[in-house]
């Protein structure tokens, strides 16, 4: 008699940092997320970016149209902060009920961030309105100063920009997105209750060695770049510690294979096809599977002041092989772990 594979039942998780893109890419990738997650914060770095409430509401409809019938998935929209964002736009976003956060990309920090903020001082009016109305600021926390080593960009951002910002706006809720360093983890642990961080599956699973293993590996390149093994261990410790201000945010970011395998590959790793399964691997390896549910399904909604999901999902410990590539409209997408195994599988 063979023993049944172990299973894990969780409150349906949410993804607090996700790139869905638009058009045929959106249609191709949205089902992966909608099958696993109840809600997701949909990043606004489209071309052109989602800078107004009207654009966010229209994008929300396009996302909903890409969700397969029978799945209940709620997109939570984010506005793209620019030097020109007005306090009135923030109030409109809040009043819409559909915008859950505002995203700060320092101009030039990452994919489609050219329209981002050039000088934080120019956003003070918008930030004051956010603090007033309770809309959280989601931060891509890297300086763009070309003098700063790419592996130090998050650390320098913490000192130069994050600390002054938190002090200047004592009521502003802030999420340090895709935290990638042990110093980032420490800042959140030592910071106020209104400061939280999201953790991606790839930063929990890879150190920077993975970008150079046996040759240059563009499918392991994301921003912020993966750091040292000691940083990765600090991220795993934060995720699995039960600390309520660390929660799930995949930063799943699809790019066509032809661009990822070109002479200048954009940052971004696609994990939506196996997102909760990959987190389960991390928690299992850390001997903390009993803490996965709080990290994936409780800490996020608690921080955002939203209700926890009521449905459940089941994971089975049944290894499966990720396809070598996925169709993405006319393009091909190389998913994380392409051609390799993932230990956990989503049931149903």
Question: Would you state the structure tokens that stand for residue 221, as one six-digit string?
Answer: 């390149």
- Quote the least distance from Cβ 111 to Zn ion, whole Å: 8
Among residues 78 and 172, whose Cβ is nearest to ligand NCD?
A: 78
Which whole-number Å values give the CA distances from 225 to 183, 211, 261, in the listed order? 15, 9, 17
Among residues 154 and 293, whose Cβ is nearest to ligand NCD?
A: 154
19 binds ligand NCD (CB under 6 A): yes
Size of the site for ligand NCD (CB under 6 A): 13
110 binds ligand NCD (CB under 6 A): yes
184 binds ligand NCD (CB under 6 A): no
SS3 assignment for the chain: CCCCCCEEEEECCCEEEECCCCHHHHHHHHHHHHHHCCEEEECCCCCCCCCCHHHHHHHHHHHHHCCCCCCCCEEEEEEECCCCCCHHHHHHHHHHCCEEEEEECECCCCCCCCCCECCHHHHHHHHHHHHHHCCCEEECCCCCCCCCCHHHHHHHHHHHHHHHHHHHCCCCCEEECCCCCHHHHHHHHHCCCCEEEEECHHHHHCCHHHHCCCCCCHHHCCCCCCCCHHHHHHHHHHHHCCCCCEEECCCECCCCHHHHCCCCCCCCECCHHHHHHHHHHHHHHCCCHHHHHHHHHHHHHHHHCCCCCCCEEEEECCCEECCCCEEECCEEECCCCCCCEECCEECC
197 binds, among ligand NCD, Zn ion, none (CB under 5 to 8 A by kind): none
- Quote the least distance from Cβ 192 to ligand NCD, whole Å: 24
Among residues 251 and 281, whose Cβ is nearest to ligand NCD?
A: 251
Give, as ranges, the residues between 48 and 87 that touch ligand NCD (CB under 6 A).
none
Name which position in 25, 33, 45, 85 contacts ligand NCD (CB under 6 A).
45
- Quote the least distance from Cβ 26 to ligand NCD, whole Å: 13
Name which position in 31, 267, 323, 329 contacts ligand NCD (CB under 6 A).
267
- Quote the least distance from Cβ 111 to ligand NCD, whole Å: 4
251 binds ligand NCD (CB under 6 A): yes
Binding region for ligand NCD (CB under 6 A) out of 26-34, 158-166, 262-270, 274-282: 262-270
Q: Given the rule CB under 5 A, which residues bind Zn ion?
A: 251
Name which position in 46, 175, 185, 222 contacts ligand NCD (CB under 6 A).
222
Among residues 13 and 141, whose Cβ is nearest to ligand NCD?
A: 141
223 binds ligand NCD (CB under 6 A): yes
Name which position in 52, 55, 111, 241 contacts ligand NCD (CB under 6 A).
111
Contact 177, 251 (CB under 8 A): yes
Among residues 38 and 49, whose Cβ is nearest to ligand NCD?
A: 49
Contacts of 93 (CB under 8 A, 6+ apart): 53, 56, 79, 99, 102, 135
Question: What is the length of the chain?
Answer: 348
Q: Which residue is nearest to ligand NCD (CB)?
A: 267
251 is catalytic: yes
- Quote the least distance from Cβ 239 to ligand NCD, whole Å: 18
- Select which of 32, 149, 251, 290 is catalytic: 251
Q: What residue ranges bind ligand NCD (CB under 6 A)?
A: 19, 45, 110-112, 140, 222-223, 251, 253, 266-268
Residues designated catalytic: 251
């Amino acid at each position: 008699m063979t023993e049944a594979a172990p299973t894990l039942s969780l409150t349906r998780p949410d993804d607090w940092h996700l790139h869905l893109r638009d058009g045929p890419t959106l249609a191709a990738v949205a089902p992966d997320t909608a099958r696993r997650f109840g809600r997701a914060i949909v990043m606004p770095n489209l071309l052109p970016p989602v800078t107004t409430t009207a654009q966010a509401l229209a994008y929300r409809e396009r996302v909903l149209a890409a969700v397969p019938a029978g799945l209940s998935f709620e997109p939570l929209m984010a506005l793209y902060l620019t030097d020109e964002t007005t306090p009135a736009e923030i109030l409109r976003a809040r009043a819409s009920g559909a915008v859950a956060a505002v995203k700060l990309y320092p101009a030039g920090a990452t994919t489609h961030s050219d329209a981002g903020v050039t000088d934080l001082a120019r956003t003070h009016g918008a930030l004051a309105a956010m603090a007033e109305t309770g809309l959280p600021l989601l931060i891509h926390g890297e300086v763009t100063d070309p003098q700063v080593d790419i592996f130090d960009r998050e650390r320098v951002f913490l000192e130069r920009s994050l600390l002054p910002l938190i002090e200047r706006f004592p009521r502003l809720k802030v999420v340090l997105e895709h935290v990638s360093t042990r110093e980032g983890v420490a800042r959140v642990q030592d910071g106020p209750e209104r400061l939280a961080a999201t953790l991606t599956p790839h930063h929990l699973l890879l150190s920077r060695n993975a970008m150079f293993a046996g040759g240059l590996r563009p499918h392991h390149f994301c921003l912020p770049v993966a750091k040292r093994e000691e940083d990765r261990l600090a991220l795993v410790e934060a995720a699995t510690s039960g600390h309520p201000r660390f929660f799930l945010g995949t930063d799943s970011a699809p790019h066509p294979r032809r661009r990822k395998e070109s002479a200048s590959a954009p940052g971004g790793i696609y994990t939506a096809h196996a997102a909760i399964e990959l987190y389960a691997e991390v928690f299992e390896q850390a001997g903390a599977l009993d803490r996965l549910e709080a990290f994936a399904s409780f800490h996020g909604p608690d921080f955002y002041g939203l209700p926890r999901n009521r449905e459940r999902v089941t994971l089975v410990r049944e290894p499966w092989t990720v396809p070598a590539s996925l169709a993405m409209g006319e393009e091909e997408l190389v998913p994380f772990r392409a051609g390799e195994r993932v230990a956990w599988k989503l049931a149903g």
